[in-house]
Amino acid sequence: MSHQTDGAPLLDQTLNALRGGVGPVHVLTDADLRATYETDWTRRFHGEAAAVVRPSTVDEVAAVLRACGEVGAAVVPQGGNTGLVGGGVPRAAAPRDERGSSRSQVILSTLRLRDLEAVDEVAGEVTVGAGVTLAALQEHVRRAGWDVGVDMGSRDSATVGGMVATNAGGVNVLRYGVMRQQVVGIEAVLADGSIIRRLPGLVKDNTGYALPSLLAGSEGTLAVITRVRLRLVPQLSRRTVALLAVDDAAQAAAFAAQLRRSLATLTAAELFDDDGMRLVLRHTGGEPPFREAHPRYLLVECGAASDPTDELVNAIAELPSRDAVAASDEGARHRLWKLREGHTEAVNAAGVPHKLDVAVPIGRIGEFDVIVREAIRRADPGARVFVYGHVGDGNLHVNVLGPDPEDEAVDDAVLELTIQMGGAVSAEHGIGVAKVRWLIADRGEPDVAAMRGIKRALDPAGGLNPGVLFPEES
Ligand code: FAD
Ligand code: MLT
Ligand code: ZN
């Protein structure tokens, strides 16, 4: 007997090998048990898996990859399933192998890889399992007076492995960089079940190709990451947040640049518009921060060992903003942050969004924010548009509600404009399946050919997350 899905059947022999590898209770084949793993956070992407497999050690991960490799099953690595480009859930149409036969899809969940090793106090580093959530990691390292350089709204569910695989960005990039810059060591399993491991945490290591950097942003297409060694940053015990009402995105970018120059303690500079803020307030039930509505808002945060309030307040007093408020106590800071971080959930609650996460040259953010709205209106006059993001590092999230999830006209309009303006079609969420059609347009044929060469070298049979990042080769 075999377990039938929309791809090829997964033979009992393989299911038995998986059960032998990870234990029978950690191989989920029942449709009800698979369901939450099969649909992404936005509900836009969904596919059927033959099984969800939950290994708890690197050797179990290797056993899963070998068992799947033997029958040509596709392996879809999944962490917290908070990814926004459909790369962590099975493909809607079963992928094909080299001979054109359809592959069954196996979700490899990393959630049981949750070791938290002791913080290395001298190096300021920590090694953790790929399935540890960002919130658990933050709690762990903060107890030792350290912090994690990357932070973002999905912290309660997003995993360290997923953050490396997507090269996550978040709200502190202008201070500490993206996830790739935090990674000083990695353990991962290649498609053939072999294990690569380099975890001593050497800050300087020029011994050959930097595999941790290569795996950062590889979106589950090159290896399954099982453990990560991260550089930590000092915990900033005193924080102050300010919200500035501004005329437009250009002014927000200019203010952010001025604050980056004048405030060594600046940790975040975030943008949102009034429609987005009203949506968040309706969703969360909060109060507006200003009596009047304003076109755009810039949220900035400073963090330091001593109270940064005076320097932040003095710096924003120099800026000709329309209005401003500042907060340093935890509750008030949280309420201001909620206005920005609440966007993702509020938009998702209002419909199935088209999420375009783009990078734009910072000097052109103002122009982009105007033109992109016109481009969307032309593509779909009825669409609702919310633009927010990390203005301090040139990353805008263009969210569109209204068009059918399958209708890509607005996606195309936004991404075409992004490339025309010298930007990138993904800033921090990745290509996933959502933007596969746009990879060559953005990167060009020679880059994509080089990437495919790397993919073929590490995963010759193409079983690791097929259909993600690259279009499937016919
Ligand atoms: P998943 O969604 O499970 O997987 C994402 C991708 O990584 C998939 O391609 C998957 O195959 C691969 N993958 C996962 N784990 C592994 C592994 N161990 N080995 C190999 N491949 C793996 N992203 C940002 O960058 N910045 C933000 O500010 C931000 N804010 C968010 C806020 C909300 C409310 C939500 C829902 C999402 C947000 N995201 C943000 C997107 C998302 O949280 C990140 O992309 C995150 O890094 C994904 O982690 P995950 O564990 O959920 O990965
Ligand atoms: C954010 O910055 O809020 C996240 O990247 C998620 C999103 O784009 O909604
Ligand atoms: Zn973001």
Which domains occur in the chain, in start order? 3-110 (3.30.43.10), 125-234 (3.30.465.10), 238-343 (3.30.70.2190), 351-447 (3.30.70.2740)
- Closest CA relative to residue 236, chosen from 171, 144, 302, 140: 302
- Closest CA relative to residue 259, chosen from 240, 232, 274: 240
Rounded CA separation 73/27 (Å): 15
Nearby residues of 318 by Cβ (< 8 Å), 6 or more positions away: 258, 262
CA angle centred on 243, ends 256 and 337, rounded to 5°: 105
pLDDT attached to residue 98: 86
Amino acid at 261: R
- Closest CA relative to residue 269, chosen from 305, 304, 232, 243: 243
Supply the residue whose CA is at minimum distance from atom 5 of ligand 2: 170
Q: Are 176 and 232 in contact (CB under 8 A)?
A: no
Closest ligand to C-alpha of residue 172 is 1
- Closest CA relative to residue 442, chosen from 425, 428, 430: 425
Distance 12 CA to ligand 1 centre (A): 32
Query: Which residue is it, tokens 């945060």?
Result: 301
The b-or-e profile of 59-91 (16+ CB within 10 A means b, else e) is ebbbbbbbbbbebbbbbbbbbbbbbbbbbbbbb
Rounded CA separation 335/328 (Å): 11
Cβ(355) to ligand 2 under 6 A? yes
Q: Are 360 and 341 in contact (CB under 8 A)?
A: no
Most ligand 2 atoms within 8 A of CB, residue of 44, 152, 426 to mutate:
152
Q: Are 355 and 433 in contact (CB under 8 A)?
A: no
Closest ligand to C-alpha of residue 40 is 1
| The pair of three-digit structure tokens given for residue 375, joined into one six-digit string | 């481009």
| Burial class of residue 24 in the structure, from the number of CB atoms within 10 Å of its CB (0-12 exposed, 13-18 middle, 19+ buried) | exposed
Cβ(82) to ligand 2 under 6 A? no
C-alpha to C-alpha distances, 171 to 256, 310, 368, nearest whole angstrom: 13, 22, 20
pLDDT attached to residue 474: 59
What is the number of the ligand 2 atom nearest to the C-alpha of 355? 8
Supply the residue whose CA is at minimum distance from atom 33 of ligand 1: 154
Q: Give me the sheet containing 384-390, strands edge to edge.
A: 323-327, 238-246, 296-304, 266-273, 384-390, 395-401, 354-359
Cβ(155) to ligand 2 under 6 A? no
Q: pLDDT (tens digit, 0 to 9) for every residue of the chain, 474 residues total?
A: 344 456 667 878 899 999 999 999 999 999 999 999 999 999 999 999 999 999 999 999 999 999 999 999 999 999 999 999 999 999 999 999 988 999 999 999 999 999 999 999 999 999 999 999 999 999 999 999 999 999 999 999 999 999 999 999 999 999 999 999 999 999 999 999 999 999 999 999 999 999 999 999 999 999 999 999 999 999 999 999 999 999 999 999 999 999 999 999 999 999 999 999 999 999 999 899 999 999 999 999 999 999 999 999 999 999 999 999 999 999 999 999 999 999 999 999 999 999 999 999 999 999 999 999 999 999 999 999 999 999 999 999 999 999 999 999 999 999 999 999 999 999 999 999 999 999 999 999 999 999 999 999 999 999 999 999 998 775
Amino acid at 464: L
Q: Are 131 and 161 in contact (CB under 8 A)?
A: yes
pLDDT attached to residue 2: 44
pLDDT attached to residue 5: 54
| The pair of three-digit structure tokens given for residue 211, joined into one six-digit string | 């595999």
Distance 431 CA to ligand 2 centre (A): 15
Distance 159 CA to ligand 1 centre (A): 7
- Closest CA relative to residue 59, chosen from 163, 187, 212, 222: 187
pLDDT attached to residue 19: 96
CA angle centred on 83, ends 241 and 449, rounded to 5°: 115
Closest ligand to C-alpha of residue 339 is 2
